[in-house]
Amino acid sequence: MLTLVTGVGAKGQVGEAVAAALAARGDTVLLVSRDATEVAARASELMAAGRKAFGYACDLSDAAAVDALAARVRADHGARLDALVNLAGGFGLSGPLAESDPGMLARMLTINTTTAYLTTRAFMPALAAAQGAVVFFASESVLEGARTSGVAAYAASKAAVLALMRSTADEGRGSGVRANAVAPTSIRTASNEASMGRDARYIEREDVAAAVSWLCSPEARAVTGQVIRLK
């Protein structure tokens, strides 16, 4: 399988674990990050372990850059893509809504929603050719009963990601493309441990990677339009 994973940059983050799990099962993984040095390092680590991996640098918030990425991937690997994992994004506290900076909403929408929209848009033809799978990263904050005080901008951007997943699943039924989302609580990553401490309640990166791997697998070919809560 040929699988593209966005947001695979810094070491110790969830993208590293997801890419490693997909590569370990035999996928050729295409890693994408805004930082050329970091994504090259992650690809080199996988290749050193005997995996098939290629790194691509791209600003996923730039439509022209994403279209160019899709063209380059098509030239390098052909016109079919078996799976796309929209992992690029980030978290930010916005504080009390009445006191929040409107710029935070713009930032959250850009890094979480725009990146997923543009990437899915650009690779939809390749996914349709392979009747492939798309996995979106939502958040526990968009699920019923979640506590979202102080994170309105982040929650809004992830709710938009969920809506994008459902639209992709709806449109994909005609071409065999399936789309689903994972909605994790805080993931144990290097950056989360630095800001929240090692003893906070986390889901492990490997558990997230296992869920993503399953959604990208033939075993999940009948599953689309669903949200999987991870905690």
Write down the pLDDT at residue 56.
98
Helices (H), 78-114: 102-108
pLDDT of residue 100: 84
Q: How far apart are CA 218 and CA 82, in angstroms?
A: 10
Query: Distance between terminal CA atoms of the chain?
Result: 28
d(CA 166, CA 159) in angstroms, rounded, equals 11
Q: What is the pLDDT of residue 193?
A: 67
What is the tally of structural domains in the chain?
Answer: 1
| Cβ–Cβ under 8 Å, residues 137 and 161 | yes
Q: Which domain does 59 fall in, by range?
A: 2-230
User: What's the CA angle centered on 12, arms 7 and 15, to 5 degrees?
Assistant: 25
What local confidence, expressed as pLDDT, does residue 13 receive? 87
* Domain CATH number, residue 81: 3.40.50.720
SS3 state of residue 97: helix
pLDDT of amino acid 146 = 77
| Residue pLDDT tens, the chain, 231 long | 999 999 998 888 899 999 999 999 999 999 999 999 999 999 999 999 999 999 999 999 999 999 999 999 999 999 999 999 999 998 878 888 888 889 999 999 999 999 999 999 999 999 999 999 999 999 988 888 778 888 899 999 999 999 999 999 999 999 999 999 999 977 887 776 676 677 667 789 899 999 999 999 999 999 999 999 998
